[in-house]
Amino acid sequence: MSKRHILALYNDFDEAELAVQELRTAQIKGFNVDDDLTVKSPIEHPEVERMIGYKPIRVQWFTLIGALTGGILAFSLIAGSQANFYSQMKGGKPIVPIPPDMVLTYEMFILGGVYITVLGFLICAGLPARRSPLYSAKVSEDQIGILVRSDESAAPALKDIFTRHKALEIQEEAGK
């Protein structure tokens, strides 16, 4: 069954919010509000969460794993190379000196954390991605976009809601 994409643009956030609320309450068949609704905005609105429901963020797990891996890797690399390969005496210091090694462990802890966090971001945010065909440059300027995906059958109802909420512009396109 083919899907249809509709993008409605709103002037400001309040109007968009009303439209979304309507979509959530409307119970349109062939349109799952949790899965098929995307809000596009030029700025970050923390309120969007409230509007479209809480969605889990998993980036922190990447952070934790990255940081721990970085730190452990650093210490084992350093201590390992000091002890196993380059067992070279420095007068007044042990072969594996803990305090100096901690400095690099700390740096690698951060490095791992940052790198893997960013990796996590790209994975979680689905970037890099091709732009969806229904995109308006207005979204990056000052308008709020609501992108919905629905069965063909649900399209008129959705459009109706958008229109009622004074959408500035409605684009639609037959999806796959």
Partner 1 sequence: MSVSNLLENWSKYRHTHPLDDGGHADWNAYPSPIKWAMSIDLDACTGCNACSVACYAENNLPVVGKDKYAHGQAMHWMRIERYWGEPEKAIDEFDSAMNFQLVAQNFDVDQGAQFLPMLCQQCEAAPCETVCPVGATNHTEDGLNSQIYNRCIGSRYCSANCPYKVRYFNWYSYPDQEHAWPEPLNQQLNPDLTVRTKGVMEKCTFCKQRTYTARNDAKTEGREIRDEDVQTACQQACPTGAISFGNLFNPESTVAKQWSAQQVDLVKEKQDKDGTPDNKLRGYRILEELRPFPSIMYLERVRESAV
Partner 2 sequence: MGKDIREDIAWAQINKDVLASVQSPRKLYWVILFIALAVFGVGIGCEVMNYRIGLGVSNMDNPHVWGLYIATFIFWIGMSHSGTLLSAILHLMHADWRKPIYRFAEAMTTFSLMTAGLFVAVHLGRLWQIYYALPYPNERWTWPNFQSPLLWDAMAIFTYLSSSVIFLYIGSIPDLAICRDNIQAGWRKKLYSILSLGWEGTDRQWRNFRITYMTVACFLIPLAVSVHSIVASDFAMSQQPGWHVTSFPPYFVAGALYSGCAAIITLFVILRYVFKFEEYMTLPILRKTVRLTFAIAMVWTYLNCIEFASAWYGHSQADKAVLIQKATGPYAPFWWSMIFCGSVVPFAMMVKKWQVNIPIMFAVSLLLNLGMWLERWMIVSPTFAHGYYPWSWDHDQWPSLVQWGIVFGSFGWFTLLFMVFCKIIPSVSMYEVKEMVYHRTLAKKKEELGLEGGH
Interface residues with partner 1 (CB under 8 A) are 76, 79-80, 82-84, 86-96, 100
User: Are 106 and 78 within 8 A, CB to CB?
Assistant: no
Q: Is 170 helix (H, G, I), strand (E, B) or coil?
A: strand
Of 101 and 172, the one with the shorter C-beta distance to partner 1 is 101
Min dist. Cβ of residue 73 to partner 1 (A): 13
Structure tokens given for 8: 């409605």
Whole-number Å distance between alpha carbons of 92 and 95: 10
Min dist. Cβ of residue 172 to partner 2 (A): 17
Min dist. Cβ of residue 62 to partner 2 (A): 9
Whole-number Å distance between alpha carbons of 52 and 68: 34
Q: Please, which of residues 79-108 interact with partner 2 by CB under 8 A? A: 81-82, 85-86, 88, 90, 93, 97, 100-101, 103-104, 106-108
Residue 92 interacts with which of partner 2, partner 1, none, CB < 5 to 8 Å by class = partner 1
Q: Please, which of residues 117-146 interact with partner 2 by CB under 8 A? A: 117-118, 120-122, 124-132, 135, 137, 139-142, 145
User: Are 148 and 24 within 8 A, CB to CB?
Assistant: no
Which DSSP category does 153 fall into?
Answer: G
Min dist. Cβ of residue 127 to partner 2 (A): 4
Whole-number Å distance between alpha carbons of 108 and 129: 30
Residue 83 interacts with which of partner 2, partner 1, none, CB < 5 to 8 Å by class = partner 1
Nearest to 43 by CA among 166, 139, 168: 139
